Amino acid sequence: MFKYTFLSKWTVLIMTVITIALSFIAFNQFGSNHPLRGGLILLLGFLIYAVAWIVALLDSIQEKKFGWSVGLVLLLPFGIGPLLYSLIGPRNTK
């Protein structure tokens, strides 16, 4: 059964993919003499990534998977926590 809530792995995955796409667009803008536009796009990507990280953390707490909660905090400096959570994290049961 397909179950979707705002606090879900699907939300985290979609937001992470959007962040990756915005990062590529931002770096292309830096190279094409539009550094301000690139910076704003990168900032937007960072904000979306931050929301994805918070959603992943709240989802892991809601699912009572505290190992994932700790893992998300530890992986924060590497920027891959939400992506790993959305791909191999626990199934949503709530």
Q: Does pTM surpass 0.95? A: no
Residue 27 located in a structural domain = yes
Mean pLDDT of the region 60-72:
92
Residue 3 located in a structural domain = no
Residue 76 located in a structural domain = yes
| pLDDT beyond 70 at 3 | no
Residue 20 located in a structural domain = yes
Residue 1 located in a structural domain = no
- Phi–psi pair at 27, nearest 5 degrees: -70, -30
> How do the residues of the chain divide into helix, strand and coil, expressed in percent and rounded to 5?
75, 0, 25
Domain total in the chain: 1
* DSSP letters spanning 21-37: HHHHHHHHHHHTT-HHH
Q: Are 63 and 38 in contact (CB under 8 A)?
A: no
Residue 94 located in a structural domain = no
| pLDDT beyond 70 at 93 | no
Domain around 49: 9-88
Residue 66 located in a structural domain = yes
